[in-house]
């Protein structure tokens, strides 16, 4: 897929070159030359011009140290210190082969194409003066008011201020840095289509993106598809700190920004979320900067410390990036690993609320058809039975992260269970416990793979070596 854009652009270039071919030969006027000589060659008659050459057609002027005009071929070849000017661009090079009929030129030797908004540098180029399309088969470097781009090869569409770049593509501007195997961009609108090994560093939003394909535009919209990864970094002065980092991974991630810079992040298919305090897995995740709420759908599971929560829908409410509370509906089930008894505390209900304070659980409220199974220990921290409780509502209050009090209302039922090894296998209906599915902090190196893009041009004019006449 990454090759299609460049091949298509090349095909467009050839089509335009064919369409632009005319039967009438463009007139070339010799405005100035220190010396003129007519010679005969196997290619037909040649007018050789030497010294301070200035040629002119209806659309452009060519300045060179020397030039040949091959009248039968309808071709001009210019040598040394070339400067081609039109009403839209200036081109500098060491050598030009210009077809006066198609107005397509082959340029070599430290080629620079300058427009009102853009500068492009390459060792060689094929350029159509009619369509204003440039084809680069050698490394190309582009600079405009927003930043710089470079790649192994590319096509530039001057009239649309668009480009297709391929091979070690890099872009750097004031707000972001991009790498990809290939890229299509409209610089005027700020739209990008990036293919293969895509990495995007968004400094304005303190985020890093990676995927097989990324779309981006000037509004802040980002679409990442295929092995999508988003790393968000809270600005606390230490980018490498794991406690200030959120990792989101999915098949597809979409980021939209409003006029105030608030983001909405939607992730789909095998979505994993990791923060230092909690982690989750679901098939769909939505987060809004405005609400500071994470919505998990599609068999979601959430892990907090040694607790696992599952349900049909789970929402996590944050405030200043700190977890305040979570809610779950659709037969939520809570399982908590007890390291002392090596048993699983269990809770279930129709809906669930968990409140947090200072990064610790403050309360749990089980509503409708509530039931729990809590294992107990003796004074020596050995297993000592369990308690089973049922009711319409169960409210558990915590102190220093430990259950301190429990209130049960309506339809109260339950029993104390004597210690037995069978208690380890006692499970409430709907039991689920999947610690192996808990996402871990990714060990991926979400960083640039290429050397920093050069902010200065690869060469300057005039070149130190010029191509002379054969």
| Separation of alpha carbons 272 and 77, rounded Å | 61
> Is the pLDDT assigned to residue 282 strictly greater than 60?
yes
pTM of structure: 0.84
> Is the pLDDT assigned to residue 196 strictly greater than 90?
yes
| Higher pLDDT among residues 312 and 462, named by residue | 312
What's the chain's average pLDDT?
A: 88
- Would you state the structure tokens that stand for residue 238, as one six-digit string? 């230490």
| Separation of alpha carbons 13 and 125, rounded Å | 12
The span from the first CA to the last CA of the chain, in angstroms, equals 42
Q: Which residues pair with 119 in a beta bridge?
A: 114, 143
Quick one: pLDDT at residue 318?
92
Structural domains present in the chain:
301-432 (2.60.450.10)
Helix (H, G, I), strand (E, B) or coil at 277: coil
Cβ(318)–Cβ(326) under 8 Å? no
Question: What single string gives the DSSP state of each residue in 2-60?
Answer: HHHHHHHHHHHHHHHHHHT--SSPPP-EEEE-SEEEEEEETTEEEEEEEEEEEEE-SS-
Quick one: pLDDT at residue 241?
45
> Is the pLDDT assigned to residue 18 strictly greater than 70?
no
Mean pLDDT of 111-133: 93
Q: How far is CA 102 from the centre of its chain?
A: 40
Tens digits of residue pLDDT in 385-419: 999 999 999 999 998 878 889 999 999 999 999 99
Tens digits of residue pLDDT in 441-463: 888 778 899 999 999 999 987 64
> Is the pLDDT assigned to residue 4 strictly greater than 80?
no
Quick one: pLDDT at residue 235?
57
Could you give the percent of the chain with pLDDT greater than 90? 66
State which of 20-34, 211-225, 281-295 shows the largest mean pLDDT: 281-295
> Is the pLDDT assigned to residue 16 strictly greater than 60?
no
Mean pLDDT of 292-310: 95
Cβ(155)–Cβ(127) under 8 Å? no
| Separation of alpha carbons 53 and 83, rounded Å | 10
The lowest-confidence range among 6-15, 19-28, 354-363, 429-438 is: 6-15
State which of 11-25, 200-214, 261-275 shows the largest mean pLDDT: 261-275
The lowest-confidence range among 7-21, 402-416, 424-438 is: 7-21
- Would you state the structure tokens that stand for residue 287, as one six-digit string? 């987060």
> Is the pLDDT assigned to residue 210 strictly greater than 90?
yes
Q: Where are the beta strands (DSSP E) in 358-443?
A: 360-377, 383-399, 402-409, 413-417
> Is the pLDDT assigned to residue 21 strictly greater than 80?
no
Show Cβ contacts of residue 94 under 8 Å, excluding neighbours closer than 6 positions. 79, 80, 81, 82, 108, 109, 110, 463, 465, 466, 467
| Separation of alpha carbons 192 and 200, rounded Å | 11
Mean pLDDT of 19-36: 72
> Is the pLDDT assigned to residue 247 strictly greater than 90?
yes
Cβ(20)–Cβ(130) under 8 Å? yes
Which class for 445: exposed (0-12), middle (13-18), buried (19 or more C-beta within 10 A)? Answer: exposed
The radius of gyration computed from the CA coordinates of the chain, to the nearest angstrom, equals 34
> Is the pLDDT assigned to residue 17 strictly greater than 50?
no
Tens digits of residue pLDDT in 232-246: 886 554 444 444 588
């Amino acid at each position: 897929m990454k090759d299609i854009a460049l091949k298509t652009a090349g095909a467009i270039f050839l089509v335009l070159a064919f369409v632009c071919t005319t039967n009438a030969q463009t007139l070339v006027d010799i405005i100035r030359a220190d010396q003129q000589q007519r010679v005969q060659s196997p290619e037909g008659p040649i007018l050789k011009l030497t010294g301070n050459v200035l040629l002119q057609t209806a659309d452009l002027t060519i300045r060179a140290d020397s030039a040949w005009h091959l009248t039968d071929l309808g071709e001009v070849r210019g040598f040394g210190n070339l400067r081609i000017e039109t009403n839209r661009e200036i081109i500098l090079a060491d050598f030009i082969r210009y077809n006066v009929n198609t107005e397509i030129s082959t340029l070599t030797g430290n080629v620079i194409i300058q427009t009102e908004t853009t500068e492009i540098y390459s060792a060689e180029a094929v350029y159509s003066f009619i369509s204003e399309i440039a084809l680069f088969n050698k490394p190309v470097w582009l600079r405009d008011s927003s930043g710089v781009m470079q790649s192994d090869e590319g096509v530039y569409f001057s009239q649309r201020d668009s480009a297709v770049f391929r091979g070690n593509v890099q872009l750097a501007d004031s707000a972001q840095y991009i790498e990809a195997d290939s890229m299509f961009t409209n610089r005027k609108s700020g739209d990008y289509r990036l293919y293969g090994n895509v990495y995007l560093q968004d400094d304005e939003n303190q985020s890093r993106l990676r995927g097989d394909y990324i779309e981006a535009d000037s509004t802040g919209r980002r679409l990442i598809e295929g092995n999508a990864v988003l790393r968000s970094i809270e600005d606390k002065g230490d980018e490498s700190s794991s406690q200030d980092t959120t990792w989101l991974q999915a098949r597809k991630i979409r980021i939209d920004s409003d006029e105030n810079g608030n983001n909405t992040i939607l992730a789909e298919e095998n979505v994993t979320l990791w923060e230092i305090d909690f982690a989750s897995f679901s098939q769909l995740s939505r987060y809004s900067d405005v609400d500071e709420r994470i919505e998990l759908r599609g068999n979601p599971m959430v892990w907090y410390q040694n607790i696992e929560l599952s349900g049909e829908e789970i929402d996590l409410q944050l405030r200043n990036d700190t977890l305040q509370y979570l809610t779950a509906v659709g037969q939520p089930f809570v399982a908590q690993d007890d390291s002392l008894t090596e048993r699983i505390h269990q809770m279930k209900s129709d809906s669930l609320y968990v409140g947090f304070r200072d990064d610790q659980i403050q309360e749990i409220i089980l509503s409708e058809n509530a039931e729990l199974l809590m294992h107990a220990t003796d004074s020596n921290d050995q297993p000592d039975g369990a308690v089973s409780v049922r009711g319409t509502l169960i409210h558990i209050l915590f102190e220093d992260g430990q259950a301190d009090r429990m209130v049960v209302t309506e339809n109260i039922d339950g029993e104390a269970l004597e210690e037995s090894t069978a208690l380890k296998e006692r499970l409430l209906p709907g039991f689920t416990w999947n610690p192996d599915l808990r996402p871990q902090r990714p060990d991926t190196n979400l960083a640039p793979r290429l050397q920093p893009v050069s902010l200065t041009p690869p060469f300057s004019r005039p070149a130190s070596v010029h191509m002379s006449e054969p």
